[in-house]
Amino acid sequence: MYFIDVILPIPLKQTFTYSVNKDEALFLKPGMRVAVPFGKSKIYTAIVYRIHQVKPPTYETKSIDQILEEHAIITPVQLKHWEWIADYYMCTLGEVIRAALPGAFLLESETIIKLATKEPIDESQLNDEEFLLYESLRNQSTLHVNDVRSILDRKNVVAVLNSLMEKGIVEVHEEVFEIYKPKLKRYIGLAGEFQREEALKNLLDTLSRAPRQRQLLMTLFMMSSQEENVDSVLLQKKSETNASVLRTLIDKGVLEEYYLQKDRVEYVRDDGDAIKTLSEAQEEAFSEIKNLFKTHEINLLHGVTSSGKTEIYIRLIDELLATGQQVLYMLPEIALTTQLISRLQRFFGKKISVYHSKYSLNERVEVWNNVLQSKPKAQIIIGARSSLFLPFQNLGMVIIDEEHEPSFKQYSPAPRYHGRDAAIVLAGIHKAKVLLGSATPALETYFNAKEGKYGLVTLTERYGKVLMPDIELVDIREKHRKKRMTGHFSDCLLEEIRESLGNKEQVIFFQNRRGYSPVVECTTCGVAPQCPNCDVSLTYHQYKNQLRCHYCGYHMPMLQECMACGSPTLDTKGFGTEQIEEELKELFPEHRIARMDQDTTKGKHAYGKLIEKVENEEIDILVGTQMLAKGLDFRKVSLVGVMNADNLLNFPDFRAHERSFQLLQQVAGRAGRTEKRGKVLIQSFNPYHQILKQVSVHDYVAMFEEQLQERYQYKYPPYFRIIKITFRHRSLQTMQRAAVWFGEVLKIQLKDQVLGPESPPIGRIRNEYISNVLVKIPRGQSLNKTKGFIGKVQQRFFSQKEFARVKLVIDVDNY
């Protein structure tokens, strides 16, 4: 007897054992997909994990339903990497597979209903609903369960189906349907019998009275000499004919049509550009990186904004491609992939594939298969954090650009992994090199470089020896006092805007809050509309005239009067990107103004279109959130305005000052990236803040040393590891009891390393009350033993009946 352990990504995300026969056991390999029965009747996709002959002692095994593939879609290296992710981030392997695989690979059976007999039945025994369903099945051989719901116009159809099954009229079974459908493209060729010269000559003579057919045929000969396969649509277009002319020739047997599988997204080489010559500073950094790779597997390139880090990456990729190895180029934002693709396409063309969540299921499956089969079109993978899950066969290098970005961290759902750290481990398994790049590295990364764990290469000058932007801090408290503010703009900022626009240059404004206003308040009674599901006020979005919650999505029309006192005196407090955009349109009506935030970039190609407009100088002023700060390269931007730096600095988080420095420095880096020196104005009520002073003189090292001292003093990373345990429940009392119980049990062994439980600044989201417990682990203490202890406490926690419905989330390295 043979058995296989399979991982069920859905519904329970756990591992189960099924029985197989000897032939199946010999055929199956780890990483293959099989369909297995689970529960009463459902069939799910599962991944083969292990094949053995040990029967499970606790339950009777079922047989698998079917084998879905002839080859494994997951490699042994992937499984090894995913086991590490599951172990390190304290989640199940099923949860990792669920996150890693494109949705099209994870199938769930669908309920199909058909007649059990073709013999006539006694219709008098059926009620109205049963008769309606019976009549439908007589006209249609099978029905999906959703069709039954539509026909009967009710959600619960189980009773009707059970009644018909008991009477022997219908039968129900489960079928698994593949979601992925390959794209087939139609091509045209000359039929075999007309390949000979004599037959072809006779054919052309017979077509002398059909000029359009003859024209199509002549165009086909011309196109065949240039390309192997002639596309039917292109053929019709070039010959200036239509589908009916083509169909006539096919029906006559003169032409043959055939279909070939094509990828939905393909990149072609634009100009075949030669790789740019590096500047002296870039060449020095490039040589240093190559030398460091001999002694360090992981290196950090700390280069100021616009220093030309991408050009160094391109040179490294070019050298690696000659060895036939694959390259993973990770970026924090999908917006960045748009601009980078066009740059890399000029050098590497068809060798590029892109992978991120804005792609459709089918497109992601095609990239997955291309990487698995090591196709030339998948030698360079550009993608967001999910791209590290791809089935690399021969990974040679991982480049992580803007490695400091919080977007690399997955917060929900599990696995709550950090893309940078998981990619470093992946590279280690493949024995590949890692290059981290940033103008403002994460504190932990720079600390590792200073400690000698990573190699460090510094690039201190901008490409073309352009000066770093001139950063000016504007005291808006003083400007308000002297009445020199127009809306949210200081007089000096408006003066700089007019100068830049007068010089036909572009301007960027940064405000890290979308919407029109975060609070709408009644000036009579002081009441502000709150979200009914969360402990937050509703944000006003003017473009939809809505009040919206950014946590649960709840929305309502904008109020005309106060809900508490009925007074019409409603006023907005604070400001977001929408309000800045509106003010700019009033101040500069003759200029083209656009906004870049989550609301304006929802579509698949929305980022690309907006970036293209800026590059083509179709936009004069761009207002945006932190999307603007992530490595975008706009050549004509000379001025950057930060509307209010204070909300960044005052965020309740131990990384607030580091993140503020990184964000402001990155936003400032969008200015003056060509010949002319850029200008940056940062508005603040506290311009003497230490971080703002360090930003104004581009002093990363001073910020690093100051923050490092604070981290050591207050026991934070990189000196301590942090595990955050979150409790959620609809009852405040149950949640509090659960958090206190867990915290007290942890303190038995970990003592003062455990902080909390404490409620976060927003204590209720989606009608669930929240509490956090923080575990700080010093560098000398075993992380695995500590996690093992937390895991045991977690098992004891779930065995308590009182806490069975409390949601528990463990987030390792939650920063």
591 band by pLDDT with thresholds 50, 70 and 90: very high
What single-letter amino acid sits at 334?
I
d(CA 78, CA 811) in angstroms, rounded, equals 22
- Write the CB contacts of 625 (distance below 8 Å, at least 6 apart in sequence): 510, 511, 512, 513, 514, 577, 596, 597, 598
Nearest to 539 by CA among 503, 576, 564: 576
Sheet harboring 621-624: ordered strands across? 470-475, 679-684, 637-642, 506-510, 621-624, 593-596
Q: For 355-377, give the DSSP string.
A: E-TTS-HHHHHHHHHHHHTT-GG
Q: Is residue 106 a contact partner of residue 33, using CB atoms and an 8 Å limit? A: no
Residue 571 confidence (pLDDT): 86
Q: Is residue 220 a contact partner of residue 257, using CB atoms and an 8 Å limit? A: no
Report the DSSP beta bridge partners of residue 639: 507, 679
d(CA 344, CA 417) in angstroms, rounded, equals 28
Q: Is residue 795 a contact partner of residue 788, using CB atoms and an 8 Å limit? A: no
d(CA 300, CA 653) in angstroms, rounded, equals 26
3-state secondary structure of 492: helix
Q: At what angle do helices 700-713 and 443-450 cross, to 10 degrees?
A: 90
Tokens of residue 225, six digits: 């000499």
Tokens of residue 290, six digits: 């190559």
**Tokens 């593949």, residue located:** 178
pTM > 0.75: yes
Span 318-356, pLDDT tens digits: 999 888 899 999 988 776 677 777 778 788 878 888 888
Nearest to 573 by CA among 651, 515, 492, 626: 515
| Cβ-based burial of 376 (10 A; exposed 0-12, middle 13-18, buried ≥19) | exposed
The pLDDT of 559-575, averaged and rounded, is 86
Span 693-729, pLDDT tens digits: 999 999 999 999 999 999 999 999 999 999 999 999 9
Span 598-638, pLDDT tens digits: 888 777 677 778 888 888 888 999 998 887 776 677 778 88
Q: Is residue 334 a contact partner of residue 607, using CB atoms and an 8 Å limit? A: yes
CA distances from 754 to 314, 490, 735, 740 (A): 46, 46, 18, 11
The pLDDT of 12-32, averaged and rounded, is 87
CA distances from 486 to 479, 491, 580, 586 (A): 10, 7, 11, 11
18: alpha, beta or left, given left = phi > 0 and alpha = psi -120 to 50?
beta
**Tokens 């290196």, residue located:** 299
Q: For 730-781, give the DSSP string.
A: SSHHHHHHHHHHHHHHHHHHHGGGEEEEE--SS-EETTEEEEEEEEEEETTS
More reliable by pLDDT, 642 or 156: 642
Residue 271 confidence (pLDDT): 45
The pLDDT of 73-100, averaged and rounded, is 93
Q: At what angle do helices 197-206 and 211-224 cross, to 10 degrees?
A: 150
Ramachandran angles phi, psi of 220, nearest 5°: -60, -45
Residue 269 confidence (pLDDT): 52
Q: Identify the H or E element spanning 114.
A: strand 110-115
Ramachandran angles phi, psi of 760, nearest 5°: -75, 170
Question: How much of the chain, in percent, has pLDDT values that exceed 70?
Answer: 97
Q: Identify the H or E element spanning 200.
A: helix 197-206
